[in-house]
Amino acid sequence: MNHPTNQPTNQSTIEPAMMTLPMWIILIILMMALMTPPTNKLITFTNTNIDNAIKTTKTITTTTPYKQQIGDIWICFTLQWSKPTHSSENIVHYELYWNDTYANQDHHKRISNTESYTLDGLYPDTLYYIWLAARSQRGEGATTPPIPVRTKQYVPGAPPRNITAMATSPTTISVSWLPPPVERANGRIIYYKVFFVEVGRADSEATIMTLNKTHIVLDELKRWTEYKIWTLAGTSVGDGPRSHPIIVRTHEDAKKNTLTNFSLQLNFYRHFSVSMAR
């Protein structure tokens, strides 16, 4: 007895079989295929009688540099995927969905029949969720699972806040501040820079102190001298903008003040004594 040989099913053998099915059964099969949820990194996208998959990359990386737009720092990255290997109907376009944890908004864009797309207008150091679906003439297929991706850090978009400076002696000034606003930090603040220079000198002559805290005491300054002071914050990418400078004068010499007061008191005492004698 001859046993049938197992052979892979050919597409040409499926099509006649599908054609023999009643139309309502074919429509149910198509609807179930389109509603099939994605598994792992694959999205099952089925049209008519062909079962194919759209594959998304496991990781999404930024591929273009940061760019400036209307005073705010925006970044972009590229999403890549693989088209279905075969289909009896051509894909018309893709539906791209994403949301962000910064503005808490959902976004949608219809893109052409391609295998990659650069998504721009994004915020630095922000977590996004992105998912994709293919659309044919029969409708939109199942989407990929949401892919989380965090954009890269950038330099801070604002300087430190509430900067205060106060002379504490003839040779020291105490300076303190608050970090930039969270929504303008563009990443983790890892250092601060404090600049100070005598009023009348160029900013390029300023002394720079780098530290990772929000206060400092500037010492070894000149007595009764005005100093211009400003600060900035930085991430791992680099320096942010500088704050507006403030001007503070150190105290006078304490010994000189004491001697002056003593002299005034002595003169007053002598004048008072002479007046009484007369």
pTM higher than 0.85, yes or no? no
Instruction: State whether the Cα torsion 136-140-141-145 is positive or negative.
Output: positive
Q: What angle do CA 89, 95, 99 make, to 5 degrees?
A: 160
Range with the lowest mean pLDDT among 58-62, 106-110, 248-252?
A: 58-62
Q: By C-alpha distance, which of 109, 99, 97, 95 is closest to 45? A: 95
The answer to whether residues 254 and 226 touch, using CB atoms and an 8 Å cutoff, is no
Measured distance CA(220)–CA(212) in Å, rounded: 21
Could you write out the DSSP letters of every residue in 14-54? HHHHHHHS-HHHHHHHHHHHHTPPPBTTEEEEEETTEEEEE
What pLDDT does 199 receive? 98
Torsion angle defined by CA atoms of residues 269, 271, 273 and 274, in that order, rounded to the nearest 10 degrees: 160
- At 136, the pLDDT band (50, 70, 90 cuts) reads confident
What pLDDT does 174 receive? 98
- Region 130-152: mean pLDDT is 89
Answer whether residue 104 shows pLDDT above 50.
Answer: yes
- At 18, the pLDDT band (50, 70, 90 cuts) reads very low
Task: Supply 76's token pair.
Answer: 């972009």
The proportion of the chain whose per-residue pLDDT surpasses 70, expressed as a percent, equals 62
Residue 89 has phi, psi (to 5 degrees) of: -125, 140
- At 143, the pLDDT band (50, 70, 90 cuts) reads confident
Domains of the chain: 12-150 (2.60.40.10), 161-255 (2.60.40.10)
What pLDDT does 255 receive? 59
Answer whether residue 277 shows pLDDT above 80.
Answer: no
Answer whether residue 273 shows pLDDT above 50.
Answer: no
- List pLDDT tens digits, range 158-193: 999 999 999 999 999 999 999 999 999 999 999 999
What pLDDT does 15 receive? 45
Measured distance between the N- and C-terminal CA atoms of the chain, rounded to whole angstroms: 153
Measured distance CA(200)–CA(213) in Å, rounded: 29
